[in-house]
Chains A and B, each alone.
Chain A
Amino acid sequence: MRKILITGGRVIDPATRTDDHVDVLLAEGRVAEWGKGIEAGGETLTVDVDGAIVAPGLVDMHVHLRDPGREDEETIESGTAAAAHGGVTAVAAMPNTEPAIDTPSWVEYVRSQETPIAVYPIAAITVGREGKTLTGMAELAEAGAVAFSDDGSPVVSPTVMRRALEYASMVGLPIISHCEDLDLKGSGVMNEGLASTLSGLRGIPAAAEEVAVARDIILARTTGAKLHIAHVSTEGSVELVRRAKEDGIAITCETAPHYFSLNDDDVRSYDTSLRVSPPIRSAADLAAIKVGLADGTIDAIASDHAPHSVEEKQVEFDAAPPGMIGVETLLPVTLTNLVQSGTVTLERAVELLSTDPASILNIPHGTLEAGSRADVTVFDPDWAWEVTADWFRSKSKNSPFIGRTLQGRVILTISEGKIVFEENATSDNDDGEAHAEGEHRPEELPVHV
């Protein structure tokens, strides 16, 4: 394997508290060393990234790859190619496939695929995600599951959730909870508030999420187990998690880019790509999510990448299934709506997108420290560009960001020492649309041996 020397970049590695203009040398799939003026030896590919940010590969701890079962919407192959395109070098795949990932053989199926980036299976908490019988968590962990979740559905029974937390703590893995009280949610399809009143769409109160978050925090305290709350979307949930952390409860949580970028007033367009679960909340919730991201209450940003076919989404708003794609826009949406707006620093953004999710899942990613896996994401935080449908490599195009201008773009993704995405690549994977006229784009990467 050829060595790669990345020069001319600003290295941001929160795990080692690094923010410096240094060169990074990758060899044998590992980070060999970094420092100023590293000499390229023979057989080394030198990449001058010309002032771009060099960060540890992003870790998206919440994606739906739809494989097995809905390969028309996404496959492990297409989903991981999309992830590489988005600068993501490790994904944790949710088990709400058809059938659900609830046996060791399905865990192995997910892990055994040839993929450009690392894929970590999350196994179901209950058999068939039915909320009744616990899965064989120990053997699932043995097979390579990194966490347990019935995501897409909450574990309705408090007793089952309690047992799941107890059992998972024995196995040593976290439970990722999709917090939603289905009774309070009812047949709601958007956030309950002025926007639902005006649009006539049935509302889902913030309480539907907060009641479930509160329940699971209490159960986490009772059991002492590791609990991770998926896609936190409300001000009240942020406050509950904040207090739980102050109380010393072993809890972490994530949010998704759409919860700090869009608010329920946008949903009044009836654009079905804006139907997600939990729903896009109010402007006040959005502001609270930003505060939570900045003050450390929220530990990670994960895309909740949820591909859906055009047939499923080109319907009436309340007939569309919830979910939007996001693994490819994870970084640019974060840069645009959190970093450019001054809510968090670039370093904190990298922490939220890489360091901390890797640490929550206890997977060997999220740092550029010498000796670690050679996963690198290089991005230009100033590159403004308009998102188009054919820019995406996901099989599905259900993104509300199509047509919007984002600032910041991935230019190079390296996974285990191999280049898995390069903005100027002239291979078949090249996306002609991205090079539309009038866009600011960096000089050709001067790649030479």
Chain B
Amino acid sequence: MRWTRKHLLGLEGVGRDEIVAILDAAAKFREILDRPVKKVPTLRGITIVNLFFEPSTRTRMSFELAEKRLSADTLNFAASTSSVKKGETLRDTARNIEAMMVDMVVMRHPSPGAPHFLTHHLDASIINAGDGPHEHPTQALLDLFTMRERLGDLDGKRVTIVGDILHSRVARSNVWGLTALGAEVTLCGPTTFMPVEIEKMGARVSTDIRESTVDADVVNVLRIQRERQEGGFLPSLREYTNLFGITAERVAGMRPDVVIMHPGPINRGVELMTDVADGDRSVILDQVTNGVAVRMAIIYLLSRVRAAERIEESEILAEVGL
């Protein structure tokens, strides 16, 4: 399967073969990360901007490391949307950056659809590093990579995602990716955290943590933002922990080979207890390592499409004698 997309905006509509193409490429890059010299010259001369309108440490660092391992030139732009709102529009910010001859933009933005908006105004390839609660495709791909590492083919595997589904881009991208690979997905959390009609994405919805995790091959635990309590979604964090927190006791009732995941950063003691997060079922740090390899694969595949586009363009120009 050849990867033909210019942008990676989300996993909705991305097919099984395409996802497998990324994961297979990521496996090759994962090997590079175990070498003493972890850098390849693949993207020498390519410039990538990391455009972050929301605070992020791990995703931004993971992208930056992936870009550097591929020998791309990287620029970091961090701004709060409020300061941007006062002055420049997103369109102008992006076009100014592109005028510096940038090939690829990695963007995190609090507004859903912001990366789609950029594709209408820029020639660069766009990678969505999280757009509000919409999608976070690279996180889902690294989750899939990590699951595949532990479980092999995900067809028929049972994956339960626990927590604040309503505000979670990770959950949405995971559902698209997992269902494309044939996994059975259950979403578990309080009713106030369930977006309407989410079951139409092809996932089962449950409010019973025991029932929804007892047979699970994977339990992917989402971060609970403390401010959700003030938003009226939760009576208290304590009640959330009592009903849905992943404790050692609850893990003891799951399959002995269950895989515990978390996209980070963890609110220890709220959605995930320390002994589970640091326990032998947890693959949370593998997710972080794999994240670099998966992002290397995505950047590499998108840059190849872009290069092919440029080659075709130059062929056309050559044909007309320019």
| A residues in contact (CB < 8 Å) with B | 192-194, 196-201, 203, 269-270, 311, 314-319
Contact = CB atoms under 8 A, between A and B. Distances in A.
Contact of B89 (A193, A201, A269, A315): A315
B195 to A, nearest CB: 4
A198 B109 contact: no
Interface in B164-222: 169, 172, 195-198, 200-201
A192 B112 contact: no
Interface in B49-65: none
Interface string B114-149: 101100000000000001111100000000000000
Contacts of B112: 199-201, 270, 317-318
A318 B111 contact: yes
B86 interface: no
B12 interface: yes
B20 to A, nearest CB: 23
18 contacts: A193-B196, A194-B197, A197-B201, A199-B112, A199-B134, A200-B112, A200-B131, A201-B112, A201-B113, A203-B196, A270-B112, A314-B89, A315-B91, A316-B90, A316-B109, A316-B111, A316-B117, A318-B112
A400 to B, nearest CB: 15
Contacts of B90: 315-316
B134 A196 contact: no
Contact of B169 (A192, A194, A200, A311): A200
Contacts of A319: 85, 111
A192 B131 CA distance: 18
Contacts of A318: 111-112, 132
A319 B110 CA distance: 11
B172 A270 contact: no
Contact of B113 (A193, A203, A311, A316): A316
Nearest to A316: B111
Contact residues on B (Cβ < 8 Å of other chain), bracket = 20 to 34
Nearest to B167: A200
Contacts of A194: 196-197, 200
A316 B114 contact: yes
A193 B91 contact: no
Contacts of A203: 195-196
Nearest to B134: A200
Contacts of B114: 316
Contact of B195 (A197, A270, A315, A317): A197
A194 B172 CA distance: 12
Nearest to A192: B196
A196 B111 contact: no
The 8 nearest A-B residue pairs measured at CB:
A200-B134, A270-B113, A200-B112, A316-B111, A197-B195, A194-B197, A200-B133, A317-B113
B113, B132, B197 — most chain A CB neighbours (10 Å) = B113
Contact of B172 (A200, A201, A269, A314): A200
Contact of A314 (B85, B91, B131): B91
Nearest to A201: B112
Interface in B86-112: 89-91, 109, 111-112
A197 B198 contact: yes
Given A316-B114, A319-B111, A196 B195 contact: yes
Contacts of A198: 12, 172, 201
Contact of A317 (B111, B169, B200): B111
B255 to A, nearest CB: 30
A311 B85 CA distance: 12
A25 B134 CA distance: 60
Contacts of A201: 112-113, 132, 134
Nearest to A268: B113
Interface in B37-94: 85, 89-91
A193 B199 CA distance: 12
A199 B113 contact: yes
A197 B194 CA distance: 9
Nearest to A199: B112
Contacts of A270: 112-113, 116-117
Given A197-B195, A199-B134, A270-B116, 9 more contacts: A194-B196, A197-B200, A200-B169, A201-B112, A201-B113, A201-B132, A315-B117, A316-B117, A318-B132
A236 B306 CA distance: 49
A315 to B, nearest CB: 6
Contacts of A315: 89-91, 117
A200 B197 contact: no
Contacts of B133: 200
Nearest to A314: B91
A181 B295 CA distance: 44
Best-surrounded residue of A192, A200, A314 (most CB of chain B within 10 A): A200
A128 to B, nearest CB: 25
B272 to A, nearest CB: 24
B132 A200 contact: yes
Nearest to B169: A200
A197 B197 CA distance: 7
Contacts of B132: 200-201, 318
Contacts of A314: 89, 91
A194 B200 CA distance: 7
A31 to B, nearest CB: 49
A203 B116 CA distance: 19
A194 B197 CA distance: 5
A201 B131 CA distance: 10
B238 to A, nearest CB: 25
Nearest to A195: B197
Contacts of A311: 89
A192 B197 CA distance: 10
Contacts of B131: 200
A315 B110 CA distance: 13
Contacts of A196: 195-196
B129 to A, nearest CB: 14
A314 B109 CA distance: 16
A314 B91 CA distance: 8
A3 B35 CA distance: 92
Contacts of B91: 314-315
A193 B116 contact: no
Nearest to B92: A314
A200 to B, nearest CB: 3
A182 to B, nearest CB: 15
